Amino acid sequence: MSAAAELSKADDRELVSFRVGGQDFCVDIMSVREIRGWTPATVLPHAPSYILGVINLRGAVVPIVDLAARMGLEPIRPDARHVIVICVVDNQTVGFLVDAVSDILSVKRSLIQPTPAVSSDVTRAFFEGVIAIDQRMLRLIDIEAVLPPIAARQERA
Amino acid sequence: MLTILAIDDSRTIREMLRETLRNAGFDVHVAVDGLDGLEKLHDIAPDVIITDINMPRLDGFGVIEAVRAGTSHAALPILVLTTESAPDLKERARKSGATGWIVKPFDDAKLVSAIKRIAAH
Amino acid sequence: MSSSIDIRQTFFQECEELLEALDDGLNALAAASEDGSVDSETVNAVFRAVHSIKGGAAAFGLESLVRFAHQFETALDAMRSGKLVATPDIVRVFLRSADYLADLIASARDEVPPTSSAGPDLMERLAQLVPSNGARMPAQPAPATPAPTTVSDADDLGFQPLALAFDFAPEPASPAGFTIRFAATKQLYGNGNDPVHMFRALAELGALESLADSSALPPLDQMDWATPYLTWELVLQTSESQHSVHEIFEFVDGLCSLEIRELQADAEPDRDQMIAEAADFSTPTPTVTDRPPAEPAASGPARAASGKSAAQSAGQKGSVRVDLELVDRLINIVGELVINQAVLAQCVQDAGIGAQSDVGAGLDEFRNLARELQENVMAIRAQSVKPLFQRMARIVREASDIAGKTVDFVTEGDAVEVDKTVIERLVDPLTHIIRNAVDHGLESAAARQTAGKPAAGRICLSAAHRSGRVLIEVSDDGAGINRPKVRQIAIDKGLIAADAVLTDSEIDKLLFLPGFSTAPKVTDLSGRGVGMDVVRSAIQSLGGRVNISSTPGKGTTMSISLPLTLAVLDGMVVDVAGQTMVVPITAIIETLRPAASDIHPVAGAGKVVAVREKFVPIIDLAETFGHRPTSPDYSNMVLLLVESGQNERWALAVDRIHDQRQVVIKGLESNYGHVPGVAAATILGDGKIALIIDPDETAQRKRPQAAFAPALMTEEV
């Protein structure tokens, strides 16, 4: 985003909201590349339980994270009704499996509240904050924090 | 627009010539050695040739002699590129029929002004 | 500005090529110097390479590079002109100079100091090679001159330096202008000059009036069309210096009679004298001035660049240079095409359309074309190993210098082509192997002579295609691996039990264990904190294997087997507990359907299968990858017999073999990371992803307890 655009939008954030395990979450629209239906993934050995495997996204091998499992909720049993939100952060492409995408909304920065201290520190690190909208609570996910750690990269560095 | 055929076996020098001459508004073609230059001469029909001296297959003097001995481009202005400016170089270049010379590493402005002194622009 | 950076990159790229040509030429020269069959074109080519490096370096103001290249070039020029005879000793100095030149280029490119300190010594040696009485030689070598580009050029022309007379030296303060008398000679036109262009250039300096004196024109019937008869009188009103005016006539100096006077002066020049001067242009008249020689290098490369030089020039072999990224994109797209073809074929099959139908035949043709296209696109990335081998020749020279050993370095199969990335990633492991061969492989000259061998050791580096892979071998004719010593070191380091029973080949493989080094003290050469284990893992990460074999007293050979490309591989598509996986065919020795009686448990630690009286440990892939608990019965499964880089064998148990096919390799690393036991992924005909197994890593991780000795020693990190 250009500096000027940044300035004019400084007060607003565009977010994509979705439902996972009966709760509302959202991510910054800047990191969302596309939204697609569920396709069966190829299982990765020795992977954490929240990694469902990898799918073929137009020739790229993209890992799929069960966002529910990642958040400590009941793992999703994926079927055709589920949706994958493809995100790109730092050139790493990852798909997040969610129950359904709800909306795209524009939220004033000032409305983003710090994450309440109810959850464990680990889980809390997944969120940038929470937003109250229409008597719902939207949990704003910090994509980088929920990305699966790239083990080999750290090993090889 | 002036069309220039630049002959040099060094890719670096070729690219420098190409860039400098393009920026000066010339139409630039390059050849990688003397023979290549002579082969392209007919198709390109340049207004000026710029040639290196020391090249494989056919050197710069060979290019000049061949051009001057031919019929269609005998009076073509030819600039010689050399790494040194020295009086007897000029003599030798001149005796072989060179129109002028440019000393490498060349200065962009000097190169362009040298071309203007030998060709219509 | 970016374009100048582009050209700088071009220069360093070109330097690589020139260094290659230089090495080629010097090696040919080295061979020819032995029997005195030096041919002048070889010397010329070597000279040209150094000359071009110097020329480019001067353009970028790389002074130390220019200075050394100049000295080198001067010595080569002496050889070119027959003043210096190519002896093996002299060629050795040239080879070392070429190495140093390469070092200087790398240092200029990376903007770091040169790693070698050989410069001053080589400069002196090169200077000594040049006959001091040679009148053709520049009066002063470069070091004495502050600006390197002003040194006399010994290449283009032989000449004696002449003092230049500048008779306009102190410039009078801003004259009002000049009167110029100018008469051309025939030669002026013959050389392609035309007064009209010069006059136009003059007009750019100020207001110009010109008057043609046609009094010398003969009657029409006596006129020679090629002889100029006109004399011009020009009045230029300008504030420019006389030097600027002279500069315009620079090229015709001596081809014309020219007189330039300040506007105030109105002395009439003697017409007859002018004509006389014009008749003999080869004797410059005293009134004709010259411009100063070349500017110092500092002002030379002040290149005001703008715009982008996009076009690439044609190379000498009729090749084009292509951005690697473009090639990789092409390879990816072609990979997609191949996958797409497979998807289509599957759809057609699922739709119940037979292979005999037109659609089936068309798809077959499609597959063949896609495959052919893919092979050709892959070939774009292929490069000959020659530059790599030349680099190794430099390593040998450097290493043998330090070790004080004389080494004959021989290469074979320089023209063998391998994927560019494979070549790049081979540099480090191969450097290490070569250094090892010089340092540890070869004995000292004295020891060699005692053993009845020639004093000079021999190292051979070869490349060859072997059944779809590239085999690279480094062999020396040294003493071979000192097995008792290796064994003792392994025991001392606690790598093996003191009473371990090892075969010769197992002892040799100890060298690949992490941290192993046979040198009693870490030498300057091979030490450097890396062991052969690093070499092995580097090769393995390329999908390669490394092997060692040695004969006491005769020498050691390291063999590296590599895939031709990192983009595709031939795989066996198998079913592992419902998951489709791919095993690289190169790893598979054979497939077995074992009888229940061939399979034996080894206590509680796993099972082995008897293959021609040898017991091979079984690795159950489904269990290894966590798809299900270990299978109670392997007799209804298929075993893939694989061999690791260390000649160890395992049997990989899979449920079923589907197919054999070439698959496009897709990395997992960028989006996910390394998966243990998995080399990469691929996309199958149905669009699903299948994992490609890394048999070696799988075996390392799942090493059955029953494996033989070396297996016990490898410590997994």
Task: Determine the residue of chain C that is closest to B56 in CA distance.
Answer: C45
pLDDT along chain B (121 residues), means of 10: 90 88 89 89 89 87 87 84 69 82 82 85 64
Per-residue model confidence (pLDDT) at position C585:
84
Contacts of C156 in chain B (CB under 8 A): 53-54, 82-84, 89
Contact between chain B and chain A (3 or more Cβ pairs less than 8 Å apart): no
CB B33, CB B58: distance < 8 Å: yes
B3-116: CATH topology: Rossmann fold (3.40.50)
How many whole angstroms separate alpha carbon C322 and alpha carbon C320?
Answer: 6
Task: Determine the residue of chain C that is closest to B61 in CA distance.
Answer: C156
Strand order in the sheet with B78-82: B27-31, B3-7, B48-52, B78-82, B100-103
Q: Which residues of A touch C (CB under 8 A)?
A: 40-47, 51, 53-56, 58-63, 91-94, 148-153, 155-156
**Interface probe, candidates B117, B118, B121, chain C, greatest C C-beta count within 10 A:** B117
Shortest distance, CA B42 to any CA of chain C (angstroms): 17
The CATH superfamily of C177-279 is: ACT domain (3.30.70.260)
Per-residue model confidence (pLDDT) at position C419:
84
Shortest distance, CA C434 to any CA of chain A (angstroms): 25
C385-563: CATH topology: Heat Shock Protein 90 (3.30.565)
Cα–Cα distance list, C328 to C11, C419, C468, C643 (Å): 24, 12, 21, 31
Helix, strand, or coil (residue B88): helix
Per-residue model confidence (pLDDT) at position C180:
86
Contacts of C297 in chain B (CB under 8 A): 105
Shortest distance, CA C480 to any CA of chain B (angstroms): 46
> Cβ contact (<8 Å) for C673 and A153?
yes
**Interface probe, candidates C689, C693, C698, C716, chain A, greatest A C-beta count within 10 A:** C689
Per-residue model confidence (pLDDT) at position C517:
63
DSSP run (H or E) holding C236: strand C231-237
> Cβ contact (<8 Å) for B87 and C191?
no
| CATH code, residues A11-145 | 2.40.50.180
Shortest distance, CA C195 to any CA of chain B (angstroms): 8
**Residues B78, B84, B87, B93: is their CA dihedral positive or negative?**
negative
Domain C2-150 has CATH 1.20.120.160: yes
Structure tokens at C64: 């130390």
Contact between chain B and chain C (3 or more Cβ pairs less than 8 Å apart): yes
Asked if C344 is an interface residue toward chain A (Cβ–Cβ < 8 A), one would say no
**List of chains touching A (3+ CB pairs within 8 A):** C
Task: Determine the residue of chain C that is closest to A154 in CA distance.
Answer: C673
> For the residues of A64-83, what is the DSSP string, one character each?
EEEHHHHTTSPPP---TT-E
Question: A21-25, A88-92, A103-107: which range is least confident on average?
Answer: A88-92
How many whole angstroms separate alpha carbon C163 and alpha carbon C152?
Answer: 12
Contacts of C627 in chain A (CB under 8 A): 43, 45
Per-residue model confidence (pLDDT) at position C312:
35
* CB within 8 Å of C230: residues ≥ 6 apart: C183, C184, C212, C213, C214, C216, C217
CB C683, CB C672: distance < 8 Å: no
How many whole angstroms separate alpha carbon C487 and alpha carbon C709?
Answer: 12
> Cβ contact (<8 Å) for A43 and C627?
yes
**Interface probe, candidates B10, B53, B67, chain C, greatest C C-beta count within 10 A:** B10
How many whole angstroms separate alpha carbon C471 and alpha carbon C266?
Answer: 84
Shortest distance, CA C689 to any CA of chain A (angstroms): 6
Cis upstream peptide for B105 (omega within 30°): yes
Residue C54: Cβ-neighbour burial (10 angstroms; 0-12, 13-18, 19+): buried
Assigned architecture for domain C568-713 = Beta Barrel (2.40)
* CB within 8 Å of C612: residues ≥ 6 apart: none
CB C183, CB C173: distance < 8 Å: no
Contacts of C687 in chain A (CB under 8 A): 56
Q: Which of C56, C191, C307 shows the shortest C-beta gap to B97? A: C191
* CB within 8 Å of A73: residues ≥ 6 apart: A20, A21, A23
**Residue ranges of chain C with pLDDT lower than 50?**
1-2, 133-172, 265-316, 519-529, 704-717
Q: Which of B16, B68, B108 shows the shortest C-beta gap to C7? A: B16
> Cβ contact (<8 Å) for C339 and A54?
no
Contacts of C303 in chain B (CB under 8 A): 16, 20, 108
How many whole angstroms separate alpha carbon C578 and alpha carbon C654?
Answer: 10
> Cβ contact (<8 Å) for C58 and B76?
no
Q: Which of C295, C307, C309 shows the shortest C-beta gap to B15? A: C309
Contacts of B118 in chain C (CB under 8 A): 192-194, 197, 251
Phi, psi of A93 (to 5 degrees): -100, 130
Q: What ipTM, to 2 d.p.?
A: 0.84
> Cβ contact (<8 Å) for C153 and B114?
no
CB C458, CB C400: distance < 8 Å: no
Contacts of B114 in chain C (CB under 8 A): 251
Between A123 and C473, the higher pLDDT residue: C473
Residue pairs spanning B and C at CB distance below 8 A: 178
> Cβ contact (<8 Å) for A45 and C691?
yes
Per-residue model confidence (pLDDT) at position C288:
37
DSSP letter, residue C524 = T
Shortest distance, CA C637 to any CA of chain A (angstroms): 21
Contacts of C309 in chain B (CB under 8 A): 15, 18-19, 22
Per-residue model confidence (pLDDT) at position A9:
52
Shortest distance, CA A81 to any CA of chain C (angstroms): 19
A106 forms beta bridges with A14
Q: Which of A43, A62, A156 shows the shortest C-beta gap to C579? A: A43
According to DSSP, the β-strands at A12-20 and A100-108 are antiparallel
Q: Which of C156, C196, C290 shows the shortest C-beta gap to B83? A: C156
pLDDT band at A150; cut points 50, 70, 90: low
Asked if C336 is an interface residue toward chain A (Cβ–Cβ < 8 A), one would say yes
Contacts of C7 in chain B (CB under 8 A): 12, 15-16, 19
> Cβ contact (<8 Å) for C688 and A42?
yes
